[in-house]
Amino acid sequence: MKDVLIELKDLVKIYDTGLIKVLGLYKINLKIFRGEFVAIMGQSGSGKSTLMNILGCLDRPTLGNYYLDGVDVASMPSDELNKVRNQKIGFVFQSFNLISRMSALKNVEIPMIYAHKNSPKERAERAEMLLEKVGLGGRIHHQPNEMSGGQRQRVAIARALTNEPPLILADEPTGNLDTASSVEIMEMFSALHKAGATVVVVTHEENIAAYTDRMLRFSDGRLISDRDNPNPTPVRDLSIFEGMYHQKGVDRC
């Protein structure tokens, strides 16, 4: 039986500006299973970014329930929600969101510092290991302005993995990258999926969604399509993150 990681029940999001009310999401019912690789698709204003913010516990639904790993996080107090974000979710953003004055190594250490995990030496060792995994072992002391866009996004992926979260959320992760860098980043997400992580990518690009195994399409705040992708884009190396996740990896063609 499949293990449900995310479950949304009759989820509604309404933005109240004081003058008008704007519908962000309407009665979304959805399950995402542990180990899936999912694309959330739609044009601007479709509701996909609203959904990403709720899945990432950055916003709350107006109505309905959001269960993450069996817990209704929509009703959690803010301090508990902060812990959930830190321990259960790894974020990768379009604009990288790295701290410019810090080295790659120090950027990757940040989630462990917030979680009060490990000694400084252990944090540095894990951060260095993750940067080596994403191909940046020779750039651990470089600051973001000394790196290309693709390299900065790889730092962001390493940072997202520091606390070994079961869920990786990527919001338009290739939006600021050239074609070659976009391929590299999506191949890394494919390898994470193979290693056992649940990866959810927000995108409006069909060629990016083609790497995933399942495509959810939104329009006007509604889920209008949910289909499997039996032939995801093949990748060169699925072994990058092998052994990182304790749960069993998933098969992929």
Reported confidence tier of residue 124, pLDDT bands at 50, 70, 90: very high
pLDDT of residue 35: 94
Summary mean pLDDT of the chain: 93
CA angle 138, 191, 148 (to 5 degrees): 40
Contact 158, 131 (CB under 8 A): yes
pLDDT of residue 1: 67
Reported confidence tier of residue 158, pLDDT bands at 50, 70, 90: very high
pLDDT in tens, 3-36: 999 999 999 999 998 889 999 999 999 999 999 9
Compute the Cα dihedral for 66, 30, 211, 40 and give only its sign: negative
Reported confidence tier of residue 2, pLDDT bands at 50, 70, 90: confident
pLDDT of residue 250: 40
pLDDT at residue 246 greater than cutoff 80: no
Tell me how many helices (H) and strands (E) the chain has. 7, 10
pLDDT at residue 244 greater than cutoff 90: no
Contact 200, 5 (CB under 8 A): no
What DSSP letter does each residue of 80-104 carry, written as one string? HHHHHHHHHEEEEETT----TTS-H
pLDDT in tens, 199-239: 999 999 999 999 999 999 999 999 999 999 999 999 988 88
pLDDT at residue 147 greater than cutoff 60: yes
3-state secondary structure (DSSP) of residue 198: strand
pLDDT at residue 242 greater than cutoff 90: no
Residue 14 pairs in a beta bridge with: 23
Contact 107, 146 (CB under 8 A): no
**Structural domains present in the chain:** 4-228 (3.40.50.300)
**Which residue in the block uniquely carries the two structure tokens 């044009």?**
43
- pTM for the predicted model, two decimal places: 0.92
Distance of CA 247 to the CA centre of its chain: 18
Which has more pLDDT, 106 or 242?
A: 106
Reported confidence tier of residue 249, pLDDT bands at 50, 70, 90: very low
Q: Sort strands 4-16 and 63-68 into parallel, antiparallel or unpaired.
A: antiparallel
